[in-house]
Chains A and B, each alone.
Chain A
Amino acid sequence: MFKYFEPNKVFSITSKAPKYVLFLFIIVLSIGLVEALILSPEDYKQSHSVRIMYVHVPAAWISLGIFSSITFLSVVGYIFKIRNFFLISKSLAPSGFVFNIIALVTGSIWGKPTWGTWWAWDARITSMLILALFYILYLIAWRIFEDNDKVFKITSIITILGIVNLPIIKYSVDWWNTLHQPASINILSKSSIHVSMLFPLMIMTAAFALFSLLIFLMKYNTELIKIKNKGLDRL
């Protein structure tokens, strides 16, 4: 099954896809911005500051999703010795890290009018900061280590250690008495968010997902060309 993921087979698709993804991203983002900034209603308690949710929540979701994917791909890649899985993980990391930073900074901006402070060492916020540190460690490891076996091993260890933090991020608002509010959207039970706010949130999430796909494709192509450059040297 894994042979279908070989770079030689997927490059013809990944090299052409970015321009279409970019086009789709601009359209979805434009609709999302109009919905989030103009059409969606203000909150009865938080007034217009609730609009920050439309960038803060999708950014947090996607950064968590990307880290989970990186961990899965790194572990499977290490067990089955699939080099391409590491290449995919490496290409996913930059957008995951940037979304993590966006979630932290927009959360801080949202915190000022809502809680009266830019920062609090709250369980949810602190665990998100720890996730950013794991992203940094992961990205630095790829820069420091030249040897493939070593970098595969070290990045796998970093992601395994980092994944322990993910349930803490998710359940910190339930386990501890935190400043951060509990989740408003639940897959298994009824969500407490109104559809007029859920709709722009979903559109913005789709736009952010398309952006991370765009960055992934561009980075993946760059990594493949880098490998081919080394191949030309050996000819």
Chain B
Amino acid sequence: MINETLLMNGYGLYVWSAFAFTLLNFVTLYAVIKIQYNKEKNKFIAKFGSLNSERATLAKSQSINKEILSTISSI
């Protein structure tokens, strides 16, 4: 049964390489997009941290900024 699933009448190499290529692309794309997301998020946190209290209050008045800060590890 295992041999049949792996070898697939001699087509195993083609089938498994097609599926492996697909999954590898999924993992790579996910990793690249997640790295970009974390980079922008960290930049936002650093910039927000460097604001003085008046500007921080002004920035926090925007709901989306509050959301970004509250969803720091959402993905």
Question: A216's closest neighbor in chain B, by CB?
Answer: B33
Contacting A48 at CB < 8 Å: which of B8, B25, B55, B71?
A: B8
Contacting B64 at CB < 8 Å: which of A11, A55, A226?
A: A11
Q: Which residues of B contact A235 (CB under 8 A)?
A: 51, 55, 58-59
Residues facing A in B21-61 (CB within 8 A) are 21-22, 25-26, 29-30, 33-34, 36-37, 40-41, 43-44, 47-48, 51, 55, 58-59
Taking the complex as formed, is A191 at the interface, i.e. its CB lies under 8 A from any CB of chain B?
A: no
Question: A51's closest neighbor in chain B, by CB?
Answer: B15
Contacting A211 at CB < 8 Å: which of B26, B64, B65, B74?
A: B26
Given A106-B21, A106-B22, A229-B47; A48-B15 close (CB under 8 Å): yes
Given A7-B64, A51-B8, A222-B33; A109-B22 close (CB under 8 Å): no
Contacting A109 at CB < 8 Å: which of B17, B40, B41, B63?
A: B17
Question: A58's closest neighbor in chain B, by CB?
Answer: B22
Q: Which residues of B contact A15 (CB under 8 A)?
A: 67-68, 71, 74
Q: How many A-B residue pairs have CB under 8 A?
A: 125
Taking the complex as formed, is A150 at the interface, i.e. its CB lies under 8 A from any CB of chain B?
A: no
Question: Are B14 and A95 interface neighbours, CB within 8 A?
Answer: no
Question: Are B44 and A37 interface neighbours, CB within 8 A?
Answer: no
Complex A-B: 6 CB contacts under 8 Å: A15-B67, A37-B15, A55-B19, A101-B25, A102-B21, A105-B18
How distant is the Cα of A33 from the Cα of B8 in the complex, in angstroms? 15
Question: B55's closest neighbor in chain A, by CB?
Answer: A235
| Most chain B beta-carbon neighbours within 10 Å: one of A16, A59, A228, A231 | A228
How distant is the Cα of A12 from the Cα of B19 in the complex, in angstroms? 35
Residues facing B in A22-60 (CB within 8 A) are 22, 33, 36-38, 42, 47-49, 51-52, 55-56, 59
Taking the complex as formed, is A147 at the interface, i.e. its CB lies under 8 A from any CB of chain B?
A: no
Question: Are B37 and A52 interface neighbours, CB within 8 A?
Answer: no
Contacting B18 at CB < 8 Å: which of A52, A101, A222?
A: A52
Shortest CB distance A31–B (Å): 15
Contacting A16 at CB < 8 Å: which of B17, B37, B51, B71?
A: B71
